[in-house]
Amino acid sequence: MNMNITDIEDKIIIRSKEAGIEFSAFARKWENDYFDDMKSLNIELPEIMTRVSEYVPEIIIFIAKLIDNGFAYEANSSIYFDVKAYTDAGF
């Protein structure tokens, strides 16, 4: 079983700053709590775990391609996926 973990995003960054902790340590604490809960419920743990923070350069390249192809745009200091442009392109 594979699992993706979002360990870096705006809410995590904000909360880690409020707590005075590096975002990775803050996220890892919640990740560990989650896996402790899974173990206590006898739920099988993932064999492969992918953290978003480990792929930031690749994500930036992917987002740039979406923008270049007209499937995403910037507004309000964020990037948004343009569902209409994507479906209009036949996807």
Per-residue pLDDT tens digits for 39-76: 999 999 999 999 999 999 999 999 999 999 999 999 99
pLDDT score for 91: 85
pTM comes to 0.76
Nearest to 18 by CA among 83, 79, 10: 10
Please, which residues have CB within 8 angstroms of residue 59's CB and are 6 or more apart in sequence? 52
Q: What is the average pLDDT across 15-24?
A: 96
- pLDDT over 90 (residue 34): yes
